[in-house]
Amino acid sequence: MWQALYEELAERGFVVIAVAMDSREGDPLPWIEAAKPTYPTLIDREHRLAELYGIVNVPQAVWIDETGRIVRPAEAAGAYEGFRRMNRATREMPEDVARLTAQAKATYLDAIRDWVRAGDRSEHAFSAERARAHLPALTQEMVTAQAMFRLGQVLLRRGESAEGQRWIQEASRLHPDSWCIWRQGAGVNETGLAALPDFWRRVDALGSARYYAPVDMKGMP
């Protein structure tokens, strides 16, 4: 998704840093080999970005300017939760959902283009005040959950399966809004996707709540 955008904007001082929130060694490699990105693609086994930036899902993105300032805090990166209305047997997407999915992606890419072109003057670049207002609210439960997740992953790496899994499950109980924690700890299907029946049950349990929090951007569905 990002390679074309990167090639288009790289000469204007733009870079994508794609981080795989993948704890199991080797899991992201086939995807990286297939995509052959020319921008840095990093692997975050302990979900350090979740600790530092309050990330709870993928794809989420943070915009950072040339001085290292956060211009847009973590938000869904052109993703739309149309998959919730997909036909789970045939995997077909209703037409209006397909349209909204495309709209979300196009809106986000255009916003990035505008930012690269206009910098701080872009309507999509938050002022310091607006950026602060859009920061994720961090609770003691959330940071403790991330510490539990980190401990669990290190224990898994050391062969302490049962204890490691217990910490990861406890982390998810303490930070239920984190799909990163839950999906990383969940069972996966034949393509490595955490999309087994337990995932769909958890998604359905959201009810009218959003899988991706709404993005404050004109044109975003």
Partner 1 sequence: MVTLLTESGEHTVAAADGGGGALWCPAREAEATTGWEAKPEGLCRGAVCVPLPAGRERELVDGGRINLAALWRHLDRPALHSARGDVWVLGESAQQRAAALASLEAPDFTLPDATGRMHRLSEHRGKKVLLVTWASW
Q: Within positions 138 to 167, which residues make up the interface with partner 1, using CB under 8 A?
A: 138-140, 142-144, 146-148, 150-151, 154-155, 158, 160, 163, 167
Judge whether 167 and 148 are in contact, CB under 8 Å: yes
State how far the Cα of 181 lies from the Cα of 188, in Å rounded to an integer.
14
State how far the Cα of 155 lies from the Cα of 157, in Å rounded to an integer.
5
Q: Helix or strand or coil: residue 42?
A: strand
Q: Least distance in Å: CB of 122 to partner 1?
A: 10
**Only segment of 35-43, 91-99, 200-208, 209-217 that touches partner 1 (CB under 8 A):** 35-43
Comparison of 59 and 221: residue with beta carbon closer to partner 1: 59
Our finding on whether 48 is near partner 1 (CB under 8 A) is yes
Q: Which two tokens stand for residue 124?
A: 């999509």
What x-and-dash track marks residues 8-27 binding partner 1 by CB under 8 A?
Answer: -----xxxxxxxxxx----x
Q: What is the CB-side half-sphere exposure of residue 161 using CA atoms within 13 A?
A: 0
State how far the Cα of 130 lies from the Cα of 217, in Å rounded to an integer.
12
Our finding on whether 200 is near partner 1 (CB under 8 A) is no
Comparison of 12 and 218: residue with beta carbon closer to partner 1: 12
Our finding on whether 62 is near partner 1 (CB under 8 A) is yes
CA gyration radius, the chain: 18
Comparison of 191 and 208: residue with beta carbon closer to partner 1: 191
